[in-house]
Amino acid sequence: MRNIVITGGSRGIGAACAEVFAKNGDKVFIIYEKNDEKAQETARKTGAVAVKADISSETDVENAAKIIHSLCGGVDVVINNAAIAEIKLFTDITAADWDRMFGVNVRGAFLVTKAFLSDMINKKSGKIINISSVWGETGGSCEVHYSASKAALIGFTKALAKELSLSGICVNCVAPGVIDTDMNACLDDAAKAELSEEIPLSRIGSAKEVADTVFFLASPSADYITGQVVSVNGGMYI
């Protein structure tokens, strides 16, 4: 049994990851910020332990890590999934918008990874999986700050993979395309149909399809894979 930490684990891709790992017999800890009801629902469904924390806050992350360490001793896999998104013209993005986006999407991944990294270094093994986005690879119009933060996660992944390779730790990134989650709940049926026409597989992806990819990268089958970006996007921009 492995100990798995998933940020943004109350819903969407994070909750799907919690289900996949729990079914494998792993002990799952989900870190969430706001939605108590969804977090408890995921916890009941998977047997996960839900820990409330703002991952952009160093104090919150340190406190969450103390709670998790007190319950399991050490962590084997960290999945940096928590993120926020916003559709806005570049000219309308404020400095506060920019800082908030990077605070959650990039600083959060940094703080959470740092909080559990010593567990892996001490064991000379572990997996860190960062959830980026297709827009981190290609850029998305009217989502400059979101795209930039997700691109930063890709750079974070590649650099950290090189640094931690001698410690036996694999660091990889999953870049989902258009996935049926709350983040895309603002899309109406017409918009979803239009997007589907642009995807070679002609459909929007599911959270479970992303979670299955994350599970593979966390498994022994992926022990020789590190520093990679795996695009789960139905063939967009191939």
Collect all residues with Cβ–Cβ distance below 8 Å to 145 and sequence separation of at least 6.
Answer: 86, 88, 93, 97, 98, 101, 102
* Pair 77, 127: CB distance under 8 Å: yes
Separation between Cα atoms, residue 115 and residue 117, nearest integer Å: 6
* Pair 233, 176: CB distance under 8 Å: yes
Confidence bin at 188 (pLDDT 50/70/90): low
* Pair 44, 22: CB distance under 8 Å: no
pLDDT of residue 187: 67
Q: 149 burial class (0-12, 13-18, 19+ CB within 10 angstroms)?
A: buried
* Pair 202, 177: CB distance under 8 Å: no
Confidence bin at 192 (pLDDT 50/70/90): confident
The H or E element spanning position 56 is none
The H or E element spanning position 164 is helix 144-164
Structure tokens at 128: 């860190």
* Pair 200, 238: CB distance under 8 Å: yes
Inform me whether the pLDDT recorded for 205 exceeds 80: yes
Nearest 10 degrees: Cα torsion 184, 185, 186, 189: 100
Inform me whether the pLDDT recorded for 193 exceeds 70: yes
* Pair 33, 54: CB distance under 8 Å: yes
Q: CATH class for domain 3-180+207-231?
A: alpha beta
Active-site choice (32, 146, 224, 237):
146
Inform me whether the pLDDT recorded for 19 exceeds 70: yes
Query: Is 32 one of the catalytic residues?
Result: no
Inform me whether the pLDDT recorded for 32 exceeds 80: yes
- Summarised one tens digit per residue, pLDDT across range 130-145 is 999 999 999 999 999 9
Q: What is the mean pLDDT of residues 153-159?
A: 98
Q: Give the rounded percent of residues in the chain with a pLDDT score beyond 70.
A: 97
pLDDT of residue 126: 98
Residue in this structure with the two tokens 């064991």, named with its chain if needed: 123
pLDDT of residue 204: 85
pLDDT of residue 180: 81
Which ranges in 24-139 belong to alpha helices (H)?
A: 36-46, 58-72, 95-102, 108-123, 134-138
* Pair 234, 177: CB distance under 8 Å: yes
Residue in this structure with the two tokens 């806050």, named with its chain if needed: 57
Separation between Cα atoms, residue 191 and residue 112, nearest integer Å: 35
Worst-scoring range by mean pLDDT, 3-7, 20-24, 149-153, 190-194?
A: 190-194
Mean pLDDT of the chain: 94
Q: 91 burial class (0-12, 13-18, 19+ CB within 10 angstroms)?
A: exposed
